[in-house]
């Protein structure tokens, strides 16, 4: 079900705001730091908890319901639940419904409403890093939750062609067809289960798989094919310096790091949760300081 973009209640200075992140393998997430520090900058008392269903001996639905019942104002949702959660919420507008994945949920009187700040965050991060550079022909590896958000973002940025690569051929085909329909033919899309052919002709390479993340070693992108492209985006940010990111930089590509997506999507999510926007320069500084402690 699609609804008009909702206006969530704005938090007042001094308010206590309970937030959280639900996902697997999230012990090293920087989201607690980002939201607590953003809250501090805005005069809010923000708590931010990590909910890992397997570690809690429960499933996603039970944890989601428990968060709602216990008074959590909002949840971020990460791998592997960004598509699962869509069945539990109403979406905030047609764009979120079209993408088919949600990473930000607000609990309100009308029930949980889902947003996708991976999409808005990617647009902001891309423009902040690359300016007006066109994506050109892009090979996108990984058609899951973040891959969907980024694929539609690439179309919005004016990509000429998007090759969607995923081990699940049906999922790759589905995303390619959805983006083609959204662009009304302006973006040429293809799909494949192997990245090698698409990489040879690509201007940009995007990794939207969890490979490279702590607990998921390796690279979904064949590193020996890097060098002829102009730019790369690594969605993983824990750690920031993944094998793919380091190899892309060593090959001379302009690189957009996963930290930039994390930062911009997090700021957008905080704004949705609270109605407030922190000082971004100050927030970056505080995050760097927190990481060094």
d(CA 85, CA 77): 8
Planar angle of CA 147, 150, 153, nearest 5 degrees: 150
Burial class (CB in 10 A: 0-12, 13-18, 19+), 11: buried
The strand pairing partners of 162, in sequence order, are 138, 189
Q: Which of 197, 258, 249 is nearest to 227 (CA)?
A: 249
d(CA 285, CA 153): 27
| Strand pairing category for 104-108 and 111-115 | antiparallel
Q: Please give the helix or strand (H or E) that residue 32 lies within, else none.
A: helix 31-41
d(CA 227, CA 251): 5
Region of 2 (left: φ > 0; alpha: ψ -120 to 50; beta: rest) is beta
Q: Coil, helix or strand for 155?
A: helix
- Tell me whether residue 81 is one of the annotated catalytic residues: yes
d(CA 204, CA 24): 29
Cα distances (angstroms) measured from residue 132 to each of 127, 158, 191: 7, 10, 26
Catalytic pick from 48, 81, 126, 237? 81
- Residue whose structure tokens are 């973002």: 153
Planar angle of CA 284, 288, 292, nearest 5 degrees: 170
- As annotated, the active-site residues are 81
């Amino acid at each position: 079900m699609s609804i008009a973009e909702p206006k969530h209640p704005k938090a007042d200075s001094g308010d206590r705001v309970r937030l959280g992140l639900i996902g697997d393998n999230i012990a090293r997430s920087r989201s607690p730091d980002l939201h607590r520090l953003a809250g501090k900058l805005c005069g809010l008392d923000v708590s931010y908890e990590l909910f890992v269903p397997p570690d809690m001996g429960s499933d996603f639905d039970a944890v989601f319901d428990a968060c709602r019942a216990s008074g959590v104002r909002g949840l971020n949702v990460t791998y592997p639940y960004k598509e699962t959660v869509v069945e539990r919420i109403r979406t905030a507008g047609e764009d979120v419904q079209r993408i088919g994945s949600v990473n930000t949920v607000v609990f309100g009187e009308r029930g949980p409403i889902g947003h996708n700040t991976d999409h808005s965050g990617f647009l902001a991060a891309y423009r902040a890093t690359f300016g007006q550079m066109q994506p050109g022909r892009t090979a996108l590896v990984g058609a899951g939750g973040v891959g969907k958000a980024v694929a539609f973002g690439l179309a919005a940025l004016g990509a000429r062609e998007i090759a969607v690569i995923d081990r699940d051929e049906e999922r790759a085909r589905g995303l390619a067809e959805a983006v083609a329909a959204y662009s009304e033919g302006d973006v040429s899309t293809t799909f494949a289960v192997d990245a090698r052919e698409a990489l040879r002709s690509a201007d940009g390479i995007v990794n939207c798989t969890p490979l490279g993340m702590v607990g998921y070693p390796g690279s979904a992108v064949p590193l020996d094919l890097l060098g002829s492209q102009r730019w790369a985006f690594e969605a993983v940010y824990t750690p920031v310096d993944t094998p793919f990111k380091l190899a892309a930089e060593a090959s001379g590509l302009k690189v957009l790091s996963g930290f930039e997506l994390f930062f911009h999507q997090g700021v957008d999510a905080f704004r949705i949760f609270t109605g407030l926007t922190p000082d971004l320069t100050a927030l970056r500084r505080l995050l760097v300081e927190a990481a060094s402690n």
